[in-house]
C-alpha cells in the first residue's frame, strides 16, 4: 500500500522573500504541535510544501481539522505517496479516487489534474492526465468530466516522488503563529473578542489573553467560558496563556466614587492600564479588543478615543469595520459562538448605569477619575491576577 499523509500548501509565506525560510520553519513547528498525538510521524518540508504523516487512520478527521485550522495553511490534500513510475502513479490515483468516492457516498465523474514541480520528469502534465485518466476510466467505468467533475484527482510530481490526492481541504490562510510577535488580547466571554483574537492569530501573532471577571461580585462562570474559548481557538498553540483578573471589587470602587454615566469608560480605561502592564511583562507589543464601530454605546469614535488616551501601546481592533452578522458567522465557524452564548455575568454589566455616556471627552473622564487612586488600583488588580492553565 501507499504511504499516506497530509500534503500541505501555503501561500502567503511563499512570498516573503528573505523571511521565507524562517516562516516555513515556524509553520513546521506549529504543525508538529497541532498534530500533537494525532500523528506518530514528523512533519517535513520540501519543494514549497509540507508533509504531515498519517499514522493512525482513526485520528484522520481530527488531524485534518487541526492542520486546516493552523494559520499559514492555504490548503491540504489527503495524499498517497507513490514513486514516479507510471504504473505506481496510476494505481495511487485509482486508490485515491476510490477512497474519496466512498467517503462521499459515490461519484459518477472524475478528472485528473497533474502538475510537475520536478522539471526533469519525462512526461508532461497533459500526458500524465491522459494516461492516468484512461487507466482510471478503464478500471472504474466512471466518465471523465473536465468541467465539473464529482472528484478531481490531483497528482503532484515533486522531486523523487509523486503525491496523489482526491480530497482537498481549504486551510485558514494567513501567516504562521509566531511570525508576528506577541499581543495581549482583552478577551471577554462575549461573541466579538474571540473573533478578534482569532484574526490576530491568523496574522501570525502569539496571544496572551487577559480576562477581567466580575469576581468576587459575580461567580466564576465567565472565567470557565473564556478558558474554553482559548482552548477552542488553539489550546495547542496560538493562545498560550490566559490571565484572569478578578475585577469586581475595583468596579465597585469606581461605581461608588465616579459619575454613573462614565462607569463603563472608566472600567475600560482601568482595564487598558492593567492589560498594558501585563503586556509589558509578557513582551507583547499591542493590545487587541473586539470592538466594532458604533455597535454599542462604548464603541463610538468619541469613546474609543477616550479609552485610547490612556494607552501607551497600539490598541488593535480587527473587527472595527465588521457587522454583527459577519462577526457571528465567523464565531460560529470557529466554534466559539456556542460558548459565548452560554449564560454568564459580564463584568461590564456590573453596576451598569441607566444612561451611559456615548460621547465622552478626555477632560470629562479625567475629571471623573480624580478621586481614584489609579496606581494602587492597578497594583491591586495585578496582585489578584491569576494565570490559568490551558492544557
Residues that bind Mg ion (CB under 5 A): 188, 190
Residue closer to ligand ATP, measured from CB, 206 or 336 = 336
Rounded to the nearest angstrom, the gap between the alpha carbon of residue 224 and the centroid of all alpha carbons in its chain is 20
Write out the three cell numbers for 147.
468541467
Residue whose cell numbers read 509565506: 13
Angle between helix 324-334 and helix 192-202 axes, rounded to 10 deg: 70
Residue closer to ligand ATP, measured from CB, 220 or 296 = 296
User: Do residues 245 and 275 lie in contact, with contact meaning Cβ atoms separated by under 8 Å?
Assistant: no
Residue closer to Mg ion, measured from CB, 179 or 265 = 265
Residue closer to ligand ATP, measured from CB, 96 or 304 = 304
> From the CB of 389, what's the least distance to ligand ATP, in Å?
19
Which residue has its beta carbon closest to Mg ion?
A: 190
Q: Rule CB under 6 A: which residues touch ligand ATP? A: 186-188, 190-193, 211-212, 289-291, 295-296, 298-299, 347-348
SS3 164: strand
Backbone angles phi, psi at 42, to 5 degrees: -115, 135
Structural Rg of the chain based on CA atoms: 26
Q: Which of 219, 218, 182 is nearest to 203 (CA)?
A: 182
Residue closer to ligand ATP, measured from CB, 116 or 269 = 269
* CB atoms inside a 10 Å sphere around CB 355: 8
Write out the three cell numbers for 99.
477512497
Quote the DSSP letter at residue 19.
Answer: G
Residue closer to ligand ATP, measured from CB, 175 or 200 = 200
Using CB distances below 5 to 8 A depending on partner kind, what does residue 89 bind out of Mg ion, ligand ATP, none? none
Using CB distances below 5 to 8 A depending on partner kind, what does residue 243 bind out of Mg ion, ligand ATP, none? none
Using CB distances below 5 to 8 A depending on partner kind, what does residue 298 bind out of Mg ion, ligand ATP, none? ligand ATP
> From the CB of 190, what's the least distance to Mg ion, in Å?
3
Using CB distances below 5 to 8 A depending on partner kind, what does residue 187 bind out of Mg ion, ligand ATP, none? ligand ATP
> From the CB of 255, what's the least distance to Mg ion, in Å?
18
> From the CB of 196, what's the least distance to ligand ATP, in Å?
6
Which residue has its beta carbon closest to ligand ATP?
A: 190
Q: Which of 298, 74, 287 is nearest to 197 (CA)?
A: 287
Q: Which of 256, 47, 38, 65 is nearest to 163 (CA)?
A: 47
Amino acid at each position: 500500500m501507499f504511504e499516506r499523509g497530509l500534503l500541505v500548501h501555503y501561500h502567503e509565506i511563499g512570498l516573503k522573500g528573505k523571511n521565507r525560510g524562517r516562516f516555513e520553519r515556524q509553520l513546521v513547528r506549529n504543525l508538529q504541535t497541532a498534530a500533537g498525538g494525532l500523528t506518530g510521524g514528523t512533519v517535513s518540508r520540501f519543494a514549497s510544501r509540507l508533509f504531515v504523516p498519517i499514522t493512525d487512520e482513526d485520528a484522520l478527521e481530527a488531524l485534518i481539522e487541526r492542520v486546516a485550522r493552523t494559520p499559514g495553511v492555504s490548503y491540504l490534500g489527503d495524499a498517497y505517496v507513490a514513486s514516479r513510475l507510471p504504473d505506481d502513479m496510476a494505481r495511487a490515483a485509482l486508490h485515491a479516487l476510490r477512497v474519496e468516492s466512498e467517503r462521499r457516498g459515490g461519484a459518477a465523474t472524475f478528472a485528473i489534474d497533474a502538475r510537475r514541480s520536478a522539471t526533469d520528469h519525462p512526461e508532461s502534465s497533459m500526458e500524465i492526465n491522459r494516461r492516468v485518466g484512461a487507466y482510471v476510466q478503464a478500471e472504474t467505468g466512471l466518465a471523465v468530466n473536465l468541467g465539473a467533475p464529482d472528484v478531481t484527482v490531483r497528482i503532484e510530481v515533486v522531486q523523487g516522488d509523486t503525491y496523489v490526492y482526491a480530497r482537498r481541504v481549504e486551510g485558514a490562510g494567513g501567516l504562521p503563529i509566531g511570525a508576528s510577535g506577541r499581543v495581549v488580547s482583552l478577551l471577554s466571554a462575549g461573541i466579538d473578542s474571540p473573533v478578534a483574537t482569532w484574526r490576530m492569530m491568523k496574522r501570525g501573532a502569539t496571544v496572551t489573553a487577559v480576562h477581567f471577571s466580575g469576581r468576587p461580585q459575580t461567580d466564576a462562570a465567565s472565567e470557565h467560558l473564556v478558558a474554553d474559548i482559548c482552548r477552542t481557538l488553539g489550546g495547542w498553540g496560538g493562545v498560550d496563556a490566559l490571565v484572569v483578573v478578578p475585577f469586581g471589587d475595583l468596579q465597585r470602587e469606581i461605581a461608588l466614587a465616579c459619575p454613573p454615566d462614565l462607569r463603563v469608560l472608566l472600567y475600560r480605561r482601568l482595564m487598558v492600564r492593567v492589560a498594558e502592564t501585563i503586556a509589558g511583562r509578557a513582551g507583547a507589543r499591542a493590545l487587541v479588543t473586539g470592538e466594532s464601530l458604533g455597535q454599542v454605546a462604548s464603541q463610538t469614535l468619541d469613546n474609543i478615543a477616550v479609552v485610547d488616551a490612556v494607552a501607551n501601546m497600539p490598541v488593535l481592533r480587527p473587527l472595527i469595520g465588521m457587522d454583527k452578522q459577519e462577526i457571528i458567522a465567523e464565531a460560529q465557524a470557529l466554534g466559539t459562538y456556542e460558548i459565548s452564548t452560554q449564560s454568564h455575568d459580564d463584568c461590564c454589566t456590573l453596576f451598569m448605569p441607566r444612561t451611559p455616556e456615548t460621547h465622552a471627552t478626555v477632560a470629562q473622564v479625567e475629571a471623573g477619575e480624580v478621586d481614584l487612586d489609579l496606581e494602587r488600583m492597578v497594583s491591586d488588580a495585578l496582585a489578584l491576577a491569576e494565570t490559568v492553565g490551558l492544557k
